[in-house]
Amino acid sequence: MPARYDEPMNRDIQRVVITHRQIARRVDELARQILADHRPATAAQPAPITIIPILTGAMIFCADLIRRMPVVLRIELLTVSSYPGDSQKSQGAKLLAAHVGDLQGRHVLLVDDILDSGGTLRLVVPKLRELGAASVKTCVLLRKDRASARQTPVDYVGFDIPDEFVVGYGLDYNHLYRNLPRIVTLKSHVMGA
Ligand code: 5GP
Ligand code: MG
């Protein structure tokens, strides 16, 4: 077999949890659902939504999602970190940077990669309300099968997945693997176990 350039990354994969095709189909459905919910039945011109991806993990999901939302919308950015470096356990969500303009009266859709302990949403949603957002909805691509995730209110969920550490499609391990187009688990030796 000739060497393939993607071999070094692919050989670290333990198991594919969600394929690229499954993600694409679901992102399509989510975009349609979000638009349908946002459009007021009577108004001809609904207020533009403000989309806020939580960086860095939600960057790829959000980029795909908004390109399936052919409406006038605004984008603002928040950076939150809870798994610094090579940790596989949340160290508590910390707001690292906010590139957020005036949110007075805006309808915000917060987009995150994965709902795990719920710490990120519990940190950020009240902050956006304090900044004057008229409404805050939340959308995550993945939700882990654990009580703290299920008990966290969220408006849109792409997939419910087992309670395992996953990477790909924006999610990293130690800053790597975000560019994998699928959601996977990693072999244990890769994660230093
Ligand atoms: P929460 O704040 O709900 O505990 O977790 C949300 C954040 O933790 C996610 O945005 C993500 O940055 C990180 N996180 C939680 N679970 C995982 C996981 O399985 N893999 C990776 N790469 N990050 C995760
Ligand atoms: Mg995150």
Q: What tens digit of pLDDT does each residue of 133-190 get?
A: 999 999 999 999 999 999 999 999 999 999 999 999 999 999 999 999 999 999 999 9
CA of 68 to the centre of ligand 2 (A): 22
Task: Give yes or no for a contact between 146 and 163, defined as CB atoms under 8 angstroms apart.
Answer: yes
Ramachandran quadrant class, 11 (left: phi over 0; alpha: psi -120 to 50; beta: rest): alpha
Task: Say yes or no to pLDDT of 101 above 90.
Answer: no
Q: Atom 11 in ligand 1: which residue has the minimum CA distance?
A: 114
The span from the CA of 175 to the CA of 24, in Å, is 23
Q: What is the pLDDT of residue 176?
A: 95
CA of 114 to the centre of ligand 1 (A): 5
The reply to whether ligand 1 has any atom less than 6 angstroms from the CB of 34 is no
Task: Say yes or no to pLDDT of 86 above 90.
Answer: no
Q: What is the pLDDT of residue 1?
A: 56
Task: Say yes or no to pLDDT of 8 above 70.
Answer: yes
Q: Does residue 116 carry a catalytic annotation?
A: yes
**Per-residue model confidence as pLDDT tens digits over 17-66:** 999 999 999 999 999 999 999 876 455 566 789 999 999 999 999 999 99
Q: Which of 64, 116, 155, 172 is catalytic?
A: 116
Task: Look at residue 185 and give its three-state secondary structure.
Answer: strand
CA of 77 to the centre of ligand 2 (A): 12
The reply to whether ligand 1 has any atom less than 6 angstroms from the CB of 56 is no
The span from the CA of 12 to the CA of 140, in Å, is 25
Report the nearest atom of ligand 1 relative to the CA of 165: 19
Q: What is the pLDDT of residue 6?
A: 79
CA of 73 to the centre of ligand 2 (A): 22
Residue type, 124: V
Task: Give yes or no for a contact between 15 and 184, defined as CB atoms under 8 angstroms apart.
Answer: yes
Report the nearest atom of ligand 1 relative to the CA of 177: 22
| Alpha carbon of residue 6 to chain centroid | 24
Task: Say yes or no to pLDDT of 73 above 70.
Answer: yes
